[in-house]
């Protein structure tokens, strides 16, 4: 899971980053509202932790602008203020939850976990793309009834494409979701695994199931 932290106070931002990374979340940290909004618009995050008192664009404005642009990333708002009107303002501008400083690590992690659960898409049991059948629960793949043998990473790549069938996904998005925290190599690794998937599918007669979207990445054809 990847979390964006928007916090201008460096010691607090570093503390939150360490809290998240000890729980195996991948954390990106930025120090102002404009940079935070840019990250939410351009990158794929599972959640965002946003301080209200940011320089320039404050947390309320950031959340409002992100929602206006269609960003659905769950947002946890942080603030030193704990007045009811501030909590209401945060929720009304699009935040999913509100946490006053100072806070305990356990509460921060619990609240992030809660908004992640609320923000999850309904789990799809089976995705079909033509004669290709991907059973996400059983973690099995068949084409025209014939099983397709995939390695663990190959399946995760196909699974992510399947959960977003018909949508163009960038290499960066695929890397962040499939390799996530531990990967520090090139995005070209996506091309390698897509090539392997295509080769295995082609043997069974499945051609062009995974489409190249030029300038973006890949899409599973619906």
Give the residue from 84, 119, 154 where a domain finishes.
Answer: 119
- pLDDT, residue 84, reads 67
Query: What size, in residues, is the chain?
Result: 222
For 215, the domain range is 126-220
157 and 107 in one domain?
A: no
Is 100 found in the same domain as 10?
A: yes
| Share above pLDDT 70 across residues of the chain, in percent, rounded to a whole number | 90
The predicted model scores a pTM of: 0.59
Count of domains forming the chain: 2
pLDDT at 122: 47
List, for residues 46-85, the tens digit of each pLDDT value: 899 999 989 889 999 999 999 998 888 899 999 876 666 7
Whether the Cβ atoms of residue 197 and residue 154 lie closer than 8 Å to each other: yes
DSSP string across 36-88: HHHHHHHS--SEEEEESS-SSS-HHHHHHHHHHTT----EEEEES---HHHHH
- 98 sits in which H/E element: strand 97-100
With H, G, I as helix, E, B as strand and everything else as coil, classify residue 151. Answer: coil
Same-domain status, 94 and 27: yes
Q: Which residue has the tokens 């531990």?
A: 182
CATH number at residue 201: 1.10.10.10
What is the per-residue pLDDT for 89?
Answer: 75
Asked whether residue 83 falls in the same domain as residue 20, the answer is yes
**CATH number for position 30:** 3.40.50.2300
pLDDT tens-place string over residues 110-154: 999 888 876 554 445 787 877 888 887 777 899 889 999 998 889
């Amino acid at each position: 899971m990847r979390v964006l932290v928007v916090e201008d106070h460096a010691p607090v931002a570093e503390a939150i980053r360490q809290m998240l990374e000890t729980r195996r979340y991948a954390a990106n940290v930025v120090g102002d509202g404009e940079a935070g909004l840019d990250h939410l618009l351009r990158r794929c995050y599972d959640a965002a932790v946003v301080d209200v008192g940011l320089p320039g664009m404050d947390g309320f404005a950031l959340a409002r602008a992100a929602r206006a642009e269609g960003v659905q990333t769950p947002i946890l708002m942080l603030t030193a203020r704990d007045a009811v009107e501030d909590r209401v303002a945060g929720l009304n501008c699009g935040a999913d939850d509100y946490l006053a400083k100072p806070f305990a690590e356990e509460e921060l992690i619990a609240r992030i976990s809660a908004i992640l659960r609320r923000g999850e898409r309904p789990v799809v049991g089976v995705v079909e793309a033509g004669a290709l059948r991907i059973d996400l629960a059983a973690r099995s793949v068949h084409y025209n009834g014939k099983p397709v043998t995939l390695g663990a990473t190959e399946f995760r790549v196909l699974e992510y494409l399947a959960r977003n069938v018909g949508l163009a996904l960038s290499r960066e998005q695929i890397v962040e979701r499939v390799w996530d925290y531990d990967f520090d190599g090139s995005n070209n690794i996506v091309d390698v695994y897509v090539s392997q998937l295509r080769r295995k599918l082609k043997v069974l007669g499945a051609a062009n199931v995974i489409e190249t979207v030029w300038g973006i990445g890949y899409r599973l054809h619906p």
